[in-house]
Amino acid sequence: MKYLLALVAGALVPLSLAPFGWWPAGIVGAGLWFHLLQRFPGNGGLLGWLFGVGKYAVGASWVYVSIHVYGNAPEALAGALVVLFVAGLSLFSLLNGLVFDRLRTGFIISDALTFACLFVIFEWLLTWVLTGFPWLYPAYGHLHTPLAGFAPVGGVLLISLALSLSACFLVAAIRSRRRGWPVLLAIVPWIVGAALWEVDWVASGGERRAALVQGNIDQAEKWLPQNRGRIIDTYVGLSAPHWGVDALVWPEAAITLWAHEAQPLLEEFRRRGQDSGTALVLGLPAVERLPHGETVFRNTAIALGNGDGRYIKRRLVPFGEYVPLEDALRGLIEFFDLPMSRAEPGDWRQPLLRLGTDLAAMAICYEIVYPDLVRAQPAVPDVLLTLSNDSWFGTSIGPLQHLQMAQMRALENGRWLLRSTNNGVTAIVDHHGRVTQRLAQFEAGVLVGDYRIMEGVTPYTRFGNLPVLALLALGLGFGVWRRFGVKLRGDHRG
């Protein structure tokens, strides 16, 4: 039964996120996992792995769509690859459980602090180990609860710490004979979060107008050479009435011509933008020859007209934009041999794009899920931009999860965010992480709306994860001290 409950605990986490939005499920899932680890010592590894399997099997089910529907892999092969994907990611929670087993004391309050710190540490590891996969954090379900107040202070990880502490102390309250202190400790994060929400970290500046274009190009047709002209005509036609806005934004790889082939077209767009006072931002692939002679592909975004600059995607999607173990996997299925699956990343620090007199920080597609990548810019941006092609997800839950993570980046940094996608979800998000306007999925259209330039920076923008990591080190240090430095009396155990 305990192993089944570990699977259920993990499966509850994605139910707290978009599109379901049952945010208490994430708290219950984390609390149930803590209860199982605390009650069944010596089982931490297996309980942790099963928690991860439940979480990723339910929450990352869209991987199957990408591999089978758009990678044209047979059902059996696609299923096997998804099983490997889920099993591999679950190793992080397996290690989490093993470490907790080593540090647990049996004293429930001490174990609650240790569990919460480990929970967040392993989320942090998922932002960078082996390029990372920072997806399915239960904190994303709290964009509209009092815990959202922690985001501008310490980012999504600080919300995770508050959430996991609250979950663990609720478990402590249920199990302890003296419930007053655990209940109070469970409530404190919500009170502090609500107080922080009332703080104005940034101030509103000037108002701008944007037009975000959603072409709704089928992924199966997008890269076919015979469709290049039709795709360009689609974007040009949708954009025609909107020259004159401050920012006209097309999605990732809106043009499927290589950048050097598209120069006459780009020059025409540049002139039109200059004449109308519009900054056009669009995504397109590029091929470049490096100084030593090697040819590489780039996933880029450029600003034209009343704007300027070029951005090269920094964080590439494994198997989508580069293929690990390339010699073994290249050619196995079409998904591993797509036109952009040989891309090279850009420099980590790149100049911001200029839109008129404003500076815009860019994140292409998957990059928006990396908090520190969006935060760490060479200058303070006035607005955040993200271009995406979420048609890889099909009709799955993936695009809505992706939008929710983009909303968190806006909240963390106190900036409005413009999100243009191929087939949804195209949206304008305010500096509180709220969607002010959006287009329906799977429809061609243009989202026209206002956004604001913000002044000042949030503590998270200034300091990043350092304060949270310091808190985690202190909390985990206390747990280690309790485990190895203090001999607990039996009557203190929960």
Could you give the residue numbers annotated as active site? 252, 313, 365
- 93 to 12, 16, 133, 135, 286: CA distances (angstroms): 15, 18, 13, 13, 38
Return the closest-CA partner of residue 437 out of 418, 454, 421, 423: 418
Neighbours of 290 (CB within 10 A): 9
Q: Which of helix, strand or coil describes residue 382?
A: coil
- 388 to 69, 104, 212, 284, 421: CA distances (angstroms): 19, 43, 12, 11, 5
| C-alpha to C-alpha distance for 27 and 139, rounded to whole angstroms | 9
- For the record, the structure tokens of 454 come out as 């913000």
Return the closest-CA partner of residue 218 out of 63, 405, 467, 444: 444
Kindly write down the DSSP assignment for every residue of 296-346, as one continuous string: EEEEEEEEEESEE-EEE--SPPBTTTB-TTHHHHTTSSGGGG-TTTTB---
Contact status, residue 76 vs residue 110, Cβ threshold 8 Å: no
Return the closest-CA partner of residue 492 out of 176, 29, 122: 176
Contact status, residue 298 vs residue 313, Cβ threshold 8 Å: yes
Residue 6 one-letter amino acid: A
Residue 379 burial (10 A CB sphere; 0-12, 13-18, 19+):
exposed
| C-alpha to C-alpha distance for 164 and 118, rounded to whole angstroms | 10
CA dihedral (452, 455, 456, 460) in degrees, to 10, reads: 20
Q: Which of helix, strand or coil describes residue 61?
A: coil
| C-alpha to C-alpha distance for 379 and 438, rounded to whole angstroms | 28
